[in-house]
Amino acid sequence: MTFLEKKHRAFSRKIIYPIFTISIFFVGSITFSYAEEFVVTIPYGAFNPELNTPAEVWYDPAGLPIHVGDTVTWFNDDREGHTVTSGEGAGRFGWMDTKDLGAPNGIFDSERFMPGESWSFTFENEGTFDYFCVIHPWMEGIVFVEPIIPDYPHDATGKKLEQFPIFQITPDQSVEVNFSWEPEIIKTHEKVNFIYRFYDAVYDLPLRKMQYDISIVHNGNVVFEEKNAVSGAGGDYRQWIYDEPGTTIVKIKNLKPYGTIAETQIVFTDDASGRFTDFSTVVYDNAEKTFSTEKIIQPKQTLQFYYEIAVAIILVPAIMLVVALLYMKYHKSSTSVNSGRKSTPI
Ligand SMILES: [Cu+2]
């Protein structure tokens, strides 16, 4: 058995594992990503810049959100030839007032395609892409290309974390930090739990009380910082809600024993500068939420950590049991009412 396998097995025994199994089971809202195809129709009447045209938009839908790798096909349902050309069009009124012809930017160009024909383009880069028709420059559309959201935990470079929770040993080889976050895919305006536990890296024993500093560096700025935090038995967690997508690093540093540590033979030197870990990942833009009403509740003590595990493990089956009992009770009483009716002579 290799060192890592041993670590992993030791970890599986520990209480943190069930909470992950349960949350993965209940969260279920991870965005799975694979290339999709979209159709934009150029409706009948697009050739006509007048406001009384039957076409309400020139490209339907006029604004299309997709992901990197998706393909868009434009279908010409009009009676004239059109183009799909990247760049700024003249706008409906702009064209009528100034005879502006728009400005292609060279990213893509279908050239003219006729009624009944179509043209496709695959978007390989994220960004916002304006396009228009060079023949009828009032015809404008836009494609919003969002980055692919992986369905697995990964670091800030996008590399898949084959082991999650992550095991990281401090540079001085004294402490092993087991670190994870939930949900695994972090999105803006949604609460994330960073969960971590400390082990002695030599004997693989849990370190019950550790003092440490924790901070979150998001897009290069410190957005959260707590000094001299103290972990209790079973580890610790911190919650955070991000306002902006980007790269995030959770830093744990100045790890040192809080009081006397009875459970390990390891000798901690006074200099804690070599006792730190950095964990990085990506925060994605939330397509469903633009703000959060959730409150961030930081643990006052680690007992709460156990309390939450207990809630997850006990409360959910308990509610199901109560619902089942109520259902059975209701069913039973309604059956007896029915049988009572049956026996009543009309
Ligand atoms: Cu056109």
pLDDT tens sequence across 234-259: 689 999 999 999 999 999 999 998 87
Indicate whether 336 belongs to any domain.
Answer: no
pTM attached to this predicted model: 0.57
pLDDT at 343: 40
DSSP, residue by residue, 195-220: EEEEEETTT--B---EEEEEEEEETT
pLDDT at 92: 72
| Residue 285 CA, ligand 1 centroid: distance in Å | 34
Residue 3 has pLDDT above 70, yes or no: no
Which of 128-137, 227-236, 243-252, 302-311 shows the lowest per-residue confidence on average (mean pLDDT)? Answer: 302-311
What is residue 331's three-state secondary structure? helix
Same domain, 166 and 285: yes
Same domain, 155 and 277: yes
Select from 117, 146, 175 the last residue of a domain: 146
| Residue 82 CA, ligand 1 centroid: distance in Å | 4
Select from 146, 178, 211 the last residue of a domain: 146
Indicate whether 325 belongs to any domain.
Answer: no
What is the share, in percent, of the chain residues with pLDDT greater than 70? 76
CATH number, domain at 256?
2.60.40.1930
pLDDT at 334: 53
Same domain, 168 and 298: yes
Indicate whether 331 belongs to any domain.
Answer: no
| Residue 149 CA, ligand 1 centroid: distance in Å | 34
Same domain, 294 and 271: yes
| Residue 100 CA, ligand 1 centroid: distance in Å | 14
Taking residues 297-322, what's their average pLDDT?
67
Same domain, 27 and 77: no
* CA distances, 180 to each of 73, 101, 222, 267, 342 (Å): 41, 54, 20, 27, 61
| Residue 78 CA, ligand 1 centroid: distance in Å | 9
Same domain, 206 and 222: yes
DSSP, residue by residue, 85-134: EEEE---HHHHHHH----EEEEEEE---B-TT-EEEEE--S-EEEEEE-S
Identify whether the C-beta of residue 200 lies closer than 8 Å to the C-beta of residue 254.
no
Nearest CA among 127, 137, 110 for reference residue 68:
127
Same domain, 296 and 158: yes
- Assign 322 a pLDDT band (cuts: 50, 70, 90): confident
| Residue 58 CA, ligand 1 centroid: distance in Å | 8
Residue 15 has pLDDT above 50, yes or no: no
**Number of domains the chain contains:** 2
Nearest CA among 150, 155, 186 for reference residue 32:
150
What is the chain's mean pLDDT, rounded?
82
Residue 309 has pLDDT above 70, yes or no: no
Which of 187-201, 270-284, 287-301 shows the lowest per-residue confidence on average (mean pLDDT)? Answer: 287-301
CA distance 128 to 85: 14
Same domain, 58 and 203: no
- Assign 30 a pLDDT band (cuts: 50, 70, 90): very low
For tokens 């939330």, name the residue.
Answer: 286
Indicate whether 329 belongs to any domain.
Answer: no
Indicate whether 314 belongs to any domain.
Answer: no
Indicate whether 317 belongs to any domain.
Answer: no
Same domain, 24 and 75: no
| Residue 40 CA, ligand 1 centroid: distance in Å | 14
| Residue 183 CA, ligand 1 centroid: distance in Å | 46
| Residue 67 CA, ligand 1 centroid: distance in Å | 26
CA distance 132 to 125: 19
Instruction: Give the number of other Cβ atoms within 10 Å of residue 346's Cβ.
Output: 3
The more confidently predicted of residues 85 and 207 is 85
Same domain, 270 and 198: yes
Residues 6 or more apart in contact with residue 39 via CB below 8 angstroms: 72, 73, 74, 75
DSSP 50: S
pLDDT at 234: 65
CATH number, domain at 121?
2.60.40.420
Range of the structural domain that residue 210 is part of? 3-31+151-306
pLDDT at 17: 41
| Residue 116 CA, ligand 1 centroid: distance in Å | 14
| Residue 278 CA, ligand 1 centroid: distance in Å | 53
| Residue 135 CA, ligand 1 centroid: distance in Å | 5
239, β-bridge pairs: 193
Same domain, 193 and 259: yes
| Residue 32 CA, ligand 1 centroid: distance in Å | 36
Same domain, 165 and 281: yes
pLDDT at 63: 95
Select from 105, 120, 146 the last residue of a domain: 146
Indicate whether 83 belongs to any domain.
Answer: yes
DSSP 243: S
Identify whether the C-beta of residue 86 lies closer than 8 Å to the C-beta of residue 129.
yes
pLDDT at 307: 53
Residue 176 has, within 13 A of its CA and on its CB side, a CA count of 18
DSSP, residue by residue, 297-329: ---SSTHHHHHHHHIIIIIHHHHHHHHHHHHHH
Residues 6 or more apart in contact with residue 257 via CB below 8 angstroms: 207, 209, 210, 211, 268
| Residue 132 CA, ligand 1 centroid: distance in Å | 8
Taking residues 183-207, what's their average pLDDT?
93
What is the share, in percent, of the chain residues with pLDDT greater than 90? 49
pLDDT at 263: 62
At position 205, the amino acid (one-letter code) is L
Indicate whether 323 belongs to any domain.
Answer: no
